[in-house]
Amino acid sequence: DQGINLCKLLSGSEGTLAFTTEIVLQLTQVPPKRSAMVVTHYKTLEDCLMDVAPLMANSLHTCEMMDKVILDCTKNNRTQLANRFFVEGDPEALLMLEVKSDTEEDLARQLEKLLQTVKASGLSYASPILKDGDVNKAIELRKAGLGLLGNIVGDRKAVACIEDTAVALEDLKDFIGEFSEIMKGYGQDAVYYAHAGAGELHLRPILNLKKSADVGLFRDITTDVARLTKKYNGSFSGEHGDGIVRAEFIPLMIGEKNYELLKRIKSYFDPHNIFNPGKIVDAFPMDESLRYEVDREEPEISTMMDFSDSEGILKAAEKCNGSGDCRKTHQVSGAMCPSYHATKNEKDTTRGRANTLREFLTSSEKPNKFNNKELKEVFDLCLSCKACSSECPSNVDVATLKAEFLYQYQEENGYPLRGKLFAYNTKLNRLGSKMAGITNAVYDSKILGGLIKRSAGVATERNLPKVFKVDFDKELQKANNQSIKAKSKLVLYIDEFTNYLDVELGRDAIEVLTRLGYEVELFYGESGRTYISKGFLRQAKKLAAKNLEQLSVLTDKGLPILGLEPSAILSFRDEYKRFGLDKGKMDAVAANSFLIEEFLAKEIQLGHITADQFTTEAKTVKIHTHCHQKSISNQKVTFDVLNLPQNYSVSIISSGCCGMAGSFGYEKEHYEVSMQVGELKLFPAVRKAASDVIIA
């Protein structure tokens, strides 16, 4: 009855021995709440490695290493750029040393002791101390590092094969020395990224696995590093497991005798070789069945949008390295990927979409490789929220891939009526706003509104958005008469949504800006967002070109352009760059286009706007920001602005997408998924909020 506990055997078996239907977890203590981090900066890698052992004499919760190559990768990722705030100068390597405790006193004592060790070794040139939320940001940066290494433009990629070696701490320096020699011998620049405190080194060679020569190197480098790891009695799969790529080296690592034992165990558990065959024992060769046909002729694919930043749309899709970050559930931080959060179907992940597109662009024999209904199916539930463009470590931007796909597909198969109605929505709103009362009455009418919805394929559960007619020039005139201009001039962009739908926002923005003393000029224009999201790219490009000409005149005068609707103003910084327009003008406009919050937060920081200009009334505000703001800008600017009034208590709702995503939530067949997405985080948070809480 004592039985044998097979947990360790099964948990290391990578699914080759059994199919698990139930797991009882033994929990460990939750780590102490208080944490602080010292980030030591080094001028050389050797200095960094020499520091590991003495620093580990402290009771460190974390000791992580990042080198310059990885740190540089984080410069090109919008999310991670903000997390680099603590990096001083241009270090060759840094160590993140975290201490934790339940009490402030003990934390301070540990920190003091750690700093003494840092000082005694004298090897680091800077050692900033991070606390609270800043520690998490540094950890985020470290976690993103390895994935970002995969974000290299072109066919040469950081390849997983030797990225999981671990040796005893005291051997780490010599091991890395020999490791570097091997890499040098293969003409590879070594990249160091390590759980240094555990002797675990994450390193990937940069190879082009489309070419046979590099496939050869893939095997040679892996073999040499396996032998080196064996020499140091280390582990070749310290934390990630063996998979296919390392399984064939198991006999080398553990010896033939032990390997035979593994084979016997497998034969007892799984005599018919059903469970995860080809892993651990009788392994598949590491260099067969690779993603690309080796030495293939690269398909030529022309696109409407410019994908040259990825060397073409195929390589933009190939950027997905399969890491599966887009399969994280909604309980984990981040907004990627709402459709998967709702359906839990691989087809609805960023990865599913990127890989299906890659497959068809590579293998389809149709003259227009986009013209495949399977692609339509995988893109169907993408909400174009853009979370992937910043949260995916490879910055796979499915929203843009979808826009191009829709364009190409519809060019072949025609543009559907509902797509046209949404794309040309602004024209309809302009017309409807001329008789706003009648239009809104029709929209509200059960019979007429219902008829419109049913014939347009709009979910009957939704209300059609009301239209308004507002003369913003008059509004500005009125506001100007009531305020004194003491500050600089700026441009407020009245986009298509502000102009006819969310008119209150436009009025309020005019009032706030003029009362704060800014001289406001209005710029009217349709951003093209409705066309982009429906794949009407010719129309979007035309608008972008027109807007760019007019906006560049304003930015040439040094005027900042402030926008209210994130998906409109942020298109100037995002999709407009893909329309092959004048680069000089484009860069200037992109650099001078801001969300109103971005501008105001900066002004607050500079002391140009102060709390005494606002109410002292007490209010509780909870913020839910637009998906494009989360992805292309950040939420903190909104927090900073709303947090300015003295007695405002502000927090950010940890929400992803609301589920509406432009027209998505209106579309009949998408209504259910749209509601599921909203229910994941936002709706419960709003319901939970007291009635006097402002949801912003």
The whole-angstrom distance between residue 350's C-alpha and the CA centroid of its chain comes to 11
d(CA 234, CA 87): 32
Nearest distance, CB of residue 123 and ligand SF4, angstroms: 35
Amino acid type, 600 = L
Sheet holding 519-524, edge to edge: 519-524, 489-494, 561-563, 593-595
Between 325 and 496, whose beta carbon lies closer to ligand SF4?
325
d(CA 429, CA 469): 10
Using omega within 30 degrees of 0 as the cis cutoff, is the peptide bond preceding 337 cis? yes
Between 341 and 453, whose beta carbon lies closer to ligand SF4?
341
Residue 306 falls in which region: left (phi positive, over 0), alpha (psi -120 to 50) or beta: beta
Which run of H or E residues covers position 194?
Answer: strand 193-195
Between 100 and 529, whose beta carbon lies closer to ligand SF4?
529
d(CA 689, CA 683): 10
Decide if 647 contacts 369 (C-beta within 8 A).
no
Phi, psi for residue 235 in degrees, rounded to 5: -115, 140
Between 56 and 81, whose beta carbon lies closer to ligand SF4?
81
Nearby residues of 393 by Cβ (< 8 Å), 6 or more positions away = 77, 144, 146, 147, 148, 150, 151, 321, 323, 325
Nearest distance, CB of residue 308 and ligand SF4, angstroms: 20
Between 35 and 631, whose beta carbon lies closer to ligand SF4?
631
Between 70 and 554, whose beta carbon lies closer to ligand SF4?
70
Between 41 and 330, whose beta carbon lies closer to ligand SF4?
330
Nearest distance, CB of residue 310 and ligand SF4, angstroms: 13
Between 387 and 642, whose beta carbon lies closer to ligand SF4?
387
Phi, psi for residue 321 in degrees, rounded to 5: -100, 10
Of 158, 157, 176, 180, nearest to 167 by C-alpha is 176
Q: Which residue has the tokens 């005291």?
A: 170
Between 433 and 663, whose beta carbon lies closer to ligand SF4?
663
Nearest distance, CB of residue 51 and ligand SF4, angstroms: 33
HSE (CB half, 13 Å, CA atoms) of 271?
1
**In a 10 Å sphere around its CB, with 0-12 CB exposed, 13-18 middle and 19+ buried, how is residue 208 labelled?**
middle
Nearest distance, CB of residue 571 and ligand SF4, angstroms: 14
Provide the b/e sequence for 465-495 (b: ≥16 CB within 10 Å): ebbbebebeebbeebeeebeeeeeebbbbbb
Nearest distance, CB of residue 383 and ligand SF4, angstroms: 4
Nearest distance, CB of residue 322 and ligand SF4, angstroms: 5
Nearest distance, CB of residue 6 and ligand SF4, angstroms: 32
Q: What is the DSSP letter of 518?
A: -
Q: Please report, to the nearest 10 degrees, the dihedral formed by the alpha carbons of residues 135, 136, 137, 141 taken in order.
A: 100
List interacting residues with ligand SF4 (CB under 6 A): 320-326, 336-339, 350-351, 353-354, 382-388, 392-394, 396, 398-399
Nearest distance, CB of residue 305 and ligand SF4, angstroms: 15
Between 79 and 394, whose beta carbon lies closer to ligand SF4?
394
Between 77 and 321, whose beta carbon lies closer to ligand SF4?
321
Nearest distance, CB of residue 684 and ligand SF4, angstroms: 20
d(CA 627, CA 567): 8
Nearest distance, CB of residue 659 and ligand SF4, angstroms: 11
Between 52 and 383, whose beta carbon lies closer to ligand SF4?
383
Between 501 and 657, whose beta carbon lies closer to ligand SF4?
657
Between 167 and 682, whose beta carbon lies closer to ligand SF4?
682
Give Rg (Cα) of the chain.
Answer: 28
Which run of H or E residues covers position 9?
Answer: helix 7-11
Q: Residue 254 forms beta bridges with which residues?
A: none
Between 299 and 324, whose beta carbon lies closer to ligand SF4?
324
Residue 334, token pair as written in the block: 């981040």
d(CA 383, CA 657): 9
Nearest distance, CB of residue 509 and ligand SF4, angstroms: 28
d(CA 163, CA 245): 11
Nearest distance, CB of residue 402 and ligand SF4, angstroms: 7
Nearest distance, CB of residue 177 and ligand SF4, angstroms: 32
**In a 10 Å sphere around its CB, with 0-12 CB exposed, 13-18 middle and 19+ buried, how is residue 205 labelled?**
buried
Nearest distance, CB of residue 626 and ligand SF4, angstroms: 13
Between 316 and 387, whose beta carbon lies closer to ligand SF4?
387
d(CA 289, CA 209): 11
Residue 525, token pair as written in the block: 């224009």
Nearest distance, CB of residue 157 and ligand SF4, angstroms: 11
Instruction: Give the C-alpha distances (Å, rounded to integers) separating 458 from 419, 422, 464, 668, 669.
Output: 11, 10, 9, 5, 8
